[in-house]
Structure 1
């Protein structure tokens, strides 16, 4: 019978890795991180339709809420930046379409949607088409606030894209004339119906393609304008071609389509949206009279400020001059300090001289003549002993005792008979002088190295 505790399903007190086990234990943090990566990878961009519940704006500016329908709910967060750009005021019970990304919150083991854009959920096929197109273009960044550029303060040339026969162009021209006369170039287009979108897009692109310094002046600002109407009447300004042209134009654009309550995708793509065409003219240019008056006021303020600054500076200078001490008052303490230091210097020099004299007297006492005499005598005896030793070790000293030093004629001491035979001619040094000698064999004949007879030294 097998051991009931010896199987893979039995309970173990200690966990251990086994051969073939391809599922190692994960930490809670590792599992949370893996889930977070999987969720964010697969749901990096989602759009949810739901009802707002539990809406709450934190003190930091972030918004926390829940999106729900009849069967489920999901927590959501809108960070401060996107929350400040919501075009309406969110409330509980409002049905919205939220665009964002899914992520996880490991601290509470839950997932949530980070909302980047929150929109009202309209009804009807037309509104659904509008929302889908808006989401598509928005996802491409055409409505991104970072793409928008500021309007010129005082444009020299303004281009207007609108119908040349409607009341819109007259309202714009009259308002510009009243505020600040400016050169206007009108690009006539259809503003509704078939072909209107293509004409509006072509006009915006045409203004953008005008070169600087060409025969037709390039506008500093473009106004796209149309009067009010139904959503069907304004639909040309929701077309993708128009929105892309407005978003891609390098010239700042004001969108003035419809009345205050009308909103088109062109408004989102433009740099500035005006509630009406007349308001667009007011936004485009300042009031010339106000500018002149403002400049006059600024000039007077500048003169008064300069005079006031000069007067106050003179007053401060006089006040400071009264507070400044006299030069004598500044120098008197330093003079006194100099006198004190001079006295201390003289006393210090005298004290130092006295110390030096004492040191000299002590050193002089150690240099008595008798001590020097004894040391000189001791050193003389030692030197004489060393000299006698050196003389006894002199190589010529044995010569006085009957020895001779043998050298070659060319120089060099000879110490062996073989060296003498090889040299032939020698110099012998005695105690009283030196004589030259020649190596010969017995019988008075010169020594022949080839002979084997032994020479004798004479």
Structure 2
């Protein structure tokens, strides 16, 4: 469109529409500047519901409006924050609806290391205020994890160092989630890897790791900036799996180090924190087993000694009956005298009571009763004596049965010990006979191996002439008959010996090379 029209009659200047002026200005500005890079401080920042990002870039005297469309926001390496010093790249354009110009930004970088450190410090304070760095929220690292998940680049030296250290200390299963460790894709990939490991099902086809290691080698602050992103820090804080951060060298510090459950100075140190040394565990286990055995032996010995001490304080079984037996004998001796005295006392009382009864009828009635009483008294003495003797005999039989039971128990114990000794003697005899049989069989095999019969099986023969072994042709020619012994029998020949036949030596069988045993494999770490 040509904006310079001929002036109308009676007018000094041409007439334009608002859209024509706005389009001309837009065309002029975009044609004059094109793509530019602008350095300044980020002012007001607003993320609209549509996904577009609006912010200001200013210095001490001027302000330029900046906009990043929704598709450009997701590709920005750094999200601009208010107060951050940045360098934005984009195209100068205009917004006709508000009669202003602006920059369409498609890239944002931090201007200088000082600005990066200031932004890092600001993020650190914000996350610390939320409690993400609190020691009480950190999880305990498992002592011996079955599966270890590693988030790192699969092509760098870091993963090789970790696998080598794990193989030396205690081989474990390792799952590697490959990610970019620097650049724009670093932060989203690392956060996605941590969340992906946490979504795995424990005990599934691909087991969920018991421990995570996020590792990267050393580099500048710009190279490590992906691990300072807030999305990575929040993914680490939300992880249910304990996590060790090993980003950079010992002097490098990133935001993930404060949120992780354990910070390792190097990737190799992370592997050392992840698993113990297997040989040290074996040595410790053996030592504990030795201590346990020694403690058990000491406890058994102490209890055995205490049992022996207590058994010496107990009385013998037969001594327990000495007192009751003596009391029974004493009571048996006193019983006849006591009965006699009691009978005499009752007779005296009866005489006193009957002294006043003089009538003859009463005397006649009492006479039979007195006779019966005298007879009963006469019989009572021998009966009591017999009862006492019977009780004494019962007591003697009880003591005899007790002694017999004790003797039978002792005999049973001796018989059991004799049977045990006989069984051990039989086992020892059978073992000795078996050893002698094995030794005799070995000697027999050696005798057969050293004898000439084994040599005959390899194709040789023994020649005898007139009963003697023939070793030369001259001796064979003098013999009247020859007898040749082979492995499977003997052959007799008559007549003179023929010319010797030279036999080619038998070629030794070629031994097959034994396959070399493969070195013991620790198993795949993947």
With normalisation by structure 1, the TM-score equals 0.43
- Decide which structure has greater helix share: 2
With normalisation by structure 2, the TM-score equals 0.37
